Amino acid sequence: MTDYGPVAVWGVIAVIGLATYGLRLSVIHLFGRIDEVPPRAEQVLRFVPPAVLAALVAPSLVTVAPTLPETVLDEQLLAGLAAGVVAWRTENVFATIGVGMGALWLLRFVVFA
Amino acid sequence: MHEDLRAGVRDSVPILLGIAPFALVAGIAAVDAGLTPAQAVGMSVFVYAGASQLAALELLGENAPLAVVVATAVVINLRMVMYSASIAPHFARYRRRTRALLAYFLTDQAYALSIAEYADDEAGERDRRYYYLGVGTPIWVVWVVGTVLGIALGAGIPDSLGLSFAVPLVFLALLVPAMKDRPTTVAGGVGGAAAVVAAGLPFNLGLLVGAAVGILAGLLTGVVRNR
């Protein structure tokens, strides 16, 4: 739970909102003066989605424990791997969440209970 | 209703099935992070970019420095510049005020559907603006309504169910298709590993460090391959 007050939370929402709108509007607004993103910038931007998403996912699935079996036999990691296979085969958000949560509950309430 | 607006709405329907659970998670995560219902809905309306919202909520819940919260969300949304550049030629004929409105609806899904339709319609028979708004408006409605439902649901679900685990699952579902060739796969693999190693860094900088290392690894892979 956040300890930030309403001013800080609304401030963060406003700043992120304005910045995101600026990114969306950027070239749509400037078209004519800038017709495309410079190739070098585009090279970097291309890697933003995989790098950022992986950096978001990995620490939620992998908790480094003192021993290897403890690290590997983790309910979140195993459920995440099952969901990863579904994401790879189906590219479906709904199926990925369904299988991932189902696997987590199975491990938490049945297998490791 | 304009014919091209209707065509956009029709094409958006399959996408909405993927957006609805994502929106629910955004509402649940906002309540979990300690936001009021008004702040949670406000975030979905003003930011209107799911992955960055979930990351910002996680960091807010951990009381990360506000600069880190903002920087992380902005980095996640940098890809919007690519979409903006790619779709800009199709919007160039419209007035500045129309373009300002169209920009607000630019999301991964609205972009992907519209640009595919424009590519199919070389003759330019489809009205660019109406088709795009036909796709974008239902996505917006489902996003905001889904957030509200998530807020209502989130309060009543016991913690032991671990529903917050749905957040990394959403990211996972977005990550897998983003790793579409060798350099992007390397960027993801290295970025994820670096984020795990950097997870203990102060100020919750792990995500930004992991992302930066991943981008660098992707760039280097591309350079090596082009030799």
The DSSP call for residue A37 is: -
Over pLDDT 90: what percentage of chain A? 62
- Is the Cβ of A19 closer than 8 Å to some Cβ of chain B? yes
Residue A11 sits in the same domain as residue A62: no
- Could you read off the pLDDT of B141-162 as tens digits, one per residue? 999 999 999 999 887 777 788 8
**Chains A–B, number of C-beta pairs less than 8 Å apart:** 286
Q: Which of residues 84-113 of A touch B (CB under 8 A)?
A: 84, 87-88, 91-94, 96-97, 100-101, 104-105, 108
Over pLDDT 70: what percentage of chain B? 99
Asked, for residue B189, whether it belongs to a domain, the answer is: yes
pLDDT over 90 at B124, yes or no: no
Asked, for residue B217, whether it belongs to a domain, the answer is: yes
Asked, for residue B171, whether it belongs to a domain, the answer is: no
Residue A75 sits in the same domain as residue A107: yes
Residue B24 sits in the same domain as residue B120: yes
Please give the average per-residue pLDDT across B59-79, as a whole number. 94
* Count of domains forming chain B: 2
Please give the average per-residue pLDDT across B76-95, as a whole number. 91
Q: Do B184 and A105 touch (CB under 8 A)?
A: no
pLDDT greater at residue A68 or residue A7: A7
pTM for the whole structure? 0.84
- Residue closest to A9 by CA, chosen among B167, B59, B24, B74: B59
B187 is in which domain, residue-wise?
179-225
* Nearest CB partner across the interface for B165, out of A43, A91, A100: A100
Residue B203 sits in the same domain as residue B117: no
Residue B52 sits in the same domain as residue B135: yes
Residue A59 sits in the same domain as residue A106: yes
Residue A31 sits in the same domain as residue A71: no
- Could you read off the pLDDT of A72-96 as tens digits, one per residue? 899 999 999 999 999 999 988 889 9
User: What pLDDT sits at residue B227?
Assistant: 62
- Could you read off the pLDDT of A4-44 as tens digits, one per residue? 999 999 999 999 999 999 999 999 999 877 777 788 888 88
Asked, for residue A42, whether it belongs to a domain, the answer is: no
Q: Which of A1, A10, A16 to mutate to test the interface with B (most CBs of B within 10 A)?
A: A16
- Could you read off the pLDDT of B155-188 as tens digits, one per residue? 777 778 887 788 889 889 889 988 989 999 999 9
Please list, residue by residue across A62-99, b when 16 or more beta carbons sit within 10 angstroms of its beta carbon and e when fewer do. beeeeeeeeeeebbbbbbbebbbebbeeeeebebbbbb
ipTM over 0.95: no
Asked whether B83 and B25 are in contact (CB, 8 A), the reply is no
Chain B nearest-CA distance from A40, in A, is 10
A84 is in which domain, residue-wise?
48-113
- Residue closest to B44 by CA, chosen among B87, B107, B96: B107
Cβ neighbours of A51 in B, within 8 Å: 187-188, 190-191, 210-215, 217-218
Q: Do A6 and B39 touch (CB under 8 A)?
A: yes
Please give the average per-residue pLDDT across B219-223, as a whole number. 90
